[in-house]
Structure 1
């Protein structure tokens, strides 16, 4: 590198350092900020974080500083909420001030600016949510009941023959459902390629789009000029992310176009859009909505389904009680369906406990304040990043005694009725940014869980010596988590239902 280049880089670093120092200077606030750990100059609390599992750090801080905490990373204000009451008070009741998102530069650098989840509050977001609402609202989601059942029945048969590769069947279940709604039926070879690349994109994105990871690009903008490879880890893959995003935005959309031209397109969100005139959305918007519906759904729903199966292995008594409830309500040779749901409260309680026991998105999706605010005796500045620590909420011993234990009865009244609504669970977010696909996710999870329990016993697998393989709950890291692969077995406990499913599969 030439001396002049080194000098220029040095000057740029000094300027950036001065800017960062300026960002760390405290504004004079009319009230104190929420309590929190003492920050270092410039770095703030960055060195105190568990960078792989920041929710654990925030939960530990909560025990020292309380239910609402202030932290600073590279001059950026973070407000961490460790209480469901406070989360609903601010994000639900004051949603006008808490509905936008912080600027996550890694999201944009990775070619994911179309990401509905991180769009700022405004017209583009309203367009996205309007389209999602048309195909995923409660009454429409229920109308897909035959599709849920068909795919859930296929899942059961596939699990029955599965060994260590059972995870791929849960991915295929979720992916095929969302594919059917968004793009319809694409060619079999292409669907496999699409799913593989979508998971690759997700694996990159969930490690780079957190506020903590993105903070250094906000504090030091010159870093954007450096080649991605120099950052190492997932950040070095932002170029690959751009490439994948463009492929996934355009290729399935263009295939549906081709199907419409030759008359082979099935009913779907994209096919309906292309077949009708639209004044309120263009092709780029529809491409973004379709892809986001797909990749957001497969990650969260698949992970939740895998956590459900993990819980069933670890808690066989709970599994047996749920199966007994199904057998009492549903005829022995008939599969449960959504019409039976109101009569199966314990199964619903299990799914609520799955969401609580290991939240799939432990820190939710960050909000940002549009204006200054006051909560109690504390000041919350405009532009602060607001994080709801779902892990802390799930481990609140006042609400959930012995919180690490899986116990569906927490969600039932003494007379066996459900206490709360699944679709309003904190796992789906808050206020105007609540997940528009929550009813679709809820129905697809319920159908898969009920079908699996109606036919199969989920148990520990055995090794070549016939000894039980122990299962220890371990989870990947990132903005979204899922169980690390574990061994389990699937045994039919209802030959009448199994035969019914196989007959239906053979008649396809």
Structure 2
């Protein structure tokens, strides 16, 4: 009886001690950054909007400053809501802030091959070296004809069937990546590789989030629960995700081997599956944001079209030789990245050792969230941030005033910056200039003949994009349309 009492007492004391520890705002006697009040055990998990955590973090930033401390269960969290602080911390101290948290579900779902999820080490550095060889700026500039050809294919698809916008964007983005990584030409519609990647992206957006990662790290047994038990629903997705992950790694590779055996293989890169997943979804979603933005702000289309016609004349198709002469198009690309970043929080970084910043202690193993959404909606830098206004990126005389598009904070920071950012920025420009030169996007009409108003709504998850919105598309240049129909097939 006494032994039972002692055991129970020890457990109660341990629970009280853990509850007290989990509400402390100091570690090793040093203050942690300011943040919301911590509850015992759960920390701040109940305070977060699970569907849109970046909005919660942005709200905290207004209350507590550009660097905020939170705790989800036992996991330290730092949220950085300012580009200035992100540059100072993650860029300038990249040796400390380049790791990734270890999450059991990555292996369980067959995703551990992904470069973006790799811990910082030899494997990650090897992957980055391979990316640099194939996606550095000098190499990606050689793909300009490819960017335009695929953009022209997009125009043809949009004009032929404007009811399947998301599918056309997915085809464009996936076909670009597949062409560069595997030398594979996707089908204009219903390509099996494109369908596979969309399925795995859907699962990834459900499974991978920093908040869910904290839960898995605190309760690592959760992914072993039967699927019918509360908390075990994601187990249903694991076998399918593993199968799809194997498919996107093996089948394109087998295609390359076959092409090589037949002497027909084109240049391709080894670390391709990651590029396929990350590049196809972010490119597609960003272009989806662009189409929504110009539908909501038709004056952007009007000005862009006038600029293009002034440089190219009424009939010539824009090319990369026109890029420097079209600063407003570049500004549209940058505003698209700012307005609604498709990866509002990116993937979490993790500290590899203790650090001190601005007098605050940041423990080893802290999960670091970089809130791109908050950075783009800083009212001091971007007045009226909810408005889509490309002009904010131009000087009074109409020249670009920001850093190059590939340096945009939406591509990340430090050693974890997107290795495909040069490729992404150029392919985005090609699609944007092709659409604005040839297609007018307007509100769809209802049965009563009146415009159907569109209220912007977005999906949730690690990556977001617009929910379905009706629109109408028509060609505004038969000459350009005809040229594009001929050029994308050549």
Band of TM-score, shorter chain: over 0.9
Contact 1:457 1:491 in 2 (8 A): yes
**SS of residue matched to 1:461:** coil
Structure 1 runs (4+) deviating above 4 angstroms are 16-23, 186-191, 232-235
1:47-69 CA-to-partner distances (Å, cap 9, x unmatched) read 11111111111111122212111
Q: Which residue of 1 aligns with 2:273?
A: 291
By how many angstroms is 1:235 displaced?
5.4
By how many angstroms is 1:187 displaced?
7.4
1:189-224 CA-to-partner distances (Å, cap 9, x unmatched) read 998222112111111112221121021221122334
Does 2:358 align with 1:376?
yes
Equivalent of residue 324 in structure 2, options 335, 342, 354: 342
Give the distance between the partners of 2:99 and 2:221, measured in 1 at CA.
26
Give the distance between the partners of 1:149 and 1:48, measured in 2 at CA.
46
Does 2:22 align with 1:24?
yes
TM-score with structure 1 length normalisation?
0.89
Equivalent of residue 476 in structure 1, options 447, 453, 459: 459
Alignment CA distance shift 1:17-1:113 (3 Å): farther
Q: Which residue of 2 aligns with 1:107?
A: 106
**Aligned counterparts, 1:59-458, within 5 A:** 59-185=58-184, 188=187, 192-228=191-227, 230=229, 231-234=231-234, 236-265=236-265, 267-270=266-269, 286=270, 289-420=271-402, 421-458=404-441
**SS of residue matched to 2:368:** strand
By how many angstroms is 1:330 displaced?
1.0
1:348-403 CA-to-partner distances (Å, cap 9, x unmatched) read 11111111110111112211111111111211111111111111111111111111
1:472-501 CA-to-partner distances (Å, cap 9, x unmatched) read 111000001000111111111112212222
Contact 1:164 1:486 in 2 (8 A): no
Alignment CA distance shift 1:173-1:323 (3 Å): same
TM-score with structure 2 length normalisation?
0.92
Q: Which residue of 1 aligns with 2:4?
A: none
Contact 1:38 1:45 in 2 (8 A): yes
Contact 2:77 2:366 in 1 (8 A): yes
Give the distance between the partners of 1:186 and 1:23, measured in 2 at CA.
57
Contact 2:22 2:38 in 1 (8 A): no
By how many angstroms is 1:233 displaced?
4.8
Alignment CA distance shift 1:461-1:42 (3 Å): same
Contact 2:339 2:376 in 1 (8 A): yes
By how many angstroms is 1:303 displaced?
0.5
Alignment CA distance shift 1:20-1:235 (3 Å): farther
Give the distance between the partners of 2:119 and 2:159, measured in 1 at CA.
45
Alignment CA distance shift 1:24-1:455 (3 Å): same
Alignment: residue pair count: 477
**SS of residue matched to 1:79:** strand
Q: Where in structure 2 are there 5+ consecutive unaligned residues?
A: 1-10
**SS of residue matched to 1:479:** coil
Q: Which residue of 2 aligns with 1:57?
A: 56
Q: Where in structure 1 are there 5+ consecutive unaligned residues?
A: 1-12, 271-285
Alignment CA distance shift 1:268-1:191 (3 Å): farther
By how many angstroms is 1:168 displaced?
1.1
Question: Cα RMSD between the aligned structures?
Answer: 2.3
1:388-422 CA-to-partner distances (Å, cap 9, x unmatched) read 11111111111111111111111111121111211
Q: Which residue of 1 aligns with 2:6?
A: none
Q: Which residue of 1 aligns with 2:470?
A: 487
By how many angstroms is 1:256 displaced?
1.7
1:276-314 CA-to-partner distances (Å, cap 9, x unmatched) read xxxxxxxxxx3xx21111110111010000111111111
